[in-house]
Chains A and B, each alone.
Chain A
């Protein structure tokens, strides 16, 4: 019985070869647009992240503060749940870093060396997990016990940038999801109609099956199988188009991101999330469509 269902499904497939081609093409186009949108979303997300990654707060301590107090502050900051990392750069290190950075520039180097005193402050660099958390961290630093130690914080320079980026990020996310939703919906409509055409071309067969006493599930099974097969075929085709395209585009994305983001391995790592979910979605939509489309012919 199972064998027969498979046989009928494949007969449907090659007897309506062109319709099958059209169906699969439609599915591939639909899946491709959704995948492209997902990719764009990932890339934009990554772009925002790459900007975010460059942002941190530098806290410059007054020169006369003992190192113990600074270390205490470091521990306290590190213990905050929203803080990812706190790095201490003491005066000597700051000086070295500065010299290293300007090693080509004799004038600057000699002018630093000519000073009696190390001009640099002890400094903590605080990196939060999320951009949104910086305002909380800053608020904490404004408390009395800290504000007396701190000479300046350089975060205020970033504030405008951060709020802008946060805004853009949220907007991109929202728009991305809306576009993906709209596209998925359109794709589902297209799929539904293609399935309806498939069923329509088989209406005589369905009537005959019904009137000679085939059970409804037997009538349905080959069509359901066919639809799941289309879903699988279109996903495989999608994957075989998508990966070469990704590896072609990846260097361009990375240039744009100024950041080494391995898009391919992102897709590999999330393979089952991205393509598995799309397969399941398409298989589900296809099956539901064929179920609904057949109802008309199976009612009596």
Chain B
């Protein structure tokens, strides 16, 4: 599903983002990426959604070399990847339904299809009864679930979540992680970037540890130890 081949990424002249990354994530896998602040986790995510370009090496998604993706092709890539960011917010002046529908509207989805699919993805995240609420009428966990619902609108094969539980308490965190596991069970590959030790340790899934831009450990059923 996802391949990094000898990837190097430097910002400007000498800031190392990633170094000698070789990685293969198989379809339907659930992978956690951990590491200290500045280790290069978000850089990895940015390469995957073609927001940044690798300085060297290749990034391949589903057999598609996206290393030097042309601008006009980026939307096509992004419609196949769901992204959840810490600071990838909801629009405060739109309702839950409208926020999710917005993602489909701007990609030219037909109205009829939007009416069908939005309630469906909101049902997956358990917010089918809060369609008409505004973001400020939701809890932090609920808001993040709307963001996840929005990322599912194109039925992505790959879901990337960068610190999705960043500012949530442990109960809400557990809900979000359970949701990601459920999405993974439907057959979506999930890449979870996190700082949260407890989350990683309770998952018992593959863990990739980054430090100073390099992969320092990559284990099935890994644990997060520093």
- Chain A residues at the B interface, C-beta cutoff of 8 Å: 1, 4, 15, 204-205, 207-216, 218-219, 300
Residues of the B chain whose Cβ atoms lie less than 8 Å from the Cβ of A214: 75, 106-107
**Does B78 touch A at the CB level, under 8 Å?**
yes
- Chain B residues at the A interface, C-beta cutoff of 8 Å: 46, 49-52, 71-72, 74-79, 83, 85, 88-89, 91, 93, 102-103, 105-108, 150-151, 153-154
CB atoms of A212 and B150 under 8 A apart: yes
A244 to B106, CA, bound (A): 44
A171 to B133, CA, bound (A): 65
Nearest A residue (CB) for B92: A204
Residues of the A chain whose Cβ atoms lie less than 8 Å from the Cβ of B107: 212-214, 218
CB atoms of A212 and B153 under 8 A apart: yes
CB atoms of A211 and B105 under 8 A apart: no
CB atoms of A212 and B106 under 8 A apart: yes
**25 pairs of residues in contact across A and B, judged by CB atoms under 8 Å:** A4-B105, A208-B88, A208-B91, A208-B102, A208-B103, A209-B106, A211-B83, A211-B85, A212-B78, A212-B79, A212-B150, A212-B151, A212-B153, A213-B77, A213-B78, A213-B79, A214-B75, A214-B107, A215-B72, A215-B75, A216-B71, A216-B75, A218-B107, A300-B52, A300-B74
Main secondary structure of the interface of A (DSSP, over half): helix
A210 to B75, CA, bound (A): 7
CB atoms of A212 and B154 under 8 A apart: yes
A204 to B91, CA, bound (A): 7
CB atoms of A218 and B91 under 8 A apart: no
- A159 CB to closest chain B CB (Å) equals 68
Residues of the B chain whose Cβ atoms lie less than 8 Å from the Cβ of A213: 74-79, 107, 154
Task: Point out which of B76, B88, B151 has the most chain A C-beta atoms below 10 A from its C-beta.
Answer: B88
A211 to B150, CA, bound (A): 11
CB atoms of B71 and A207 under 8 A apart: no
Nearest A residue (CB) for B83: A211
In the A-B complex, the 5 residue pairs with the smallest Cβ-Cβ separation, listed nearest first, are A213-B78, A213-B79, A214-B106, A212-B103, A300-B51
- A219 CB to closest chain B CB (Å) equals 7
A207 to B75, CA, bound (A): 12
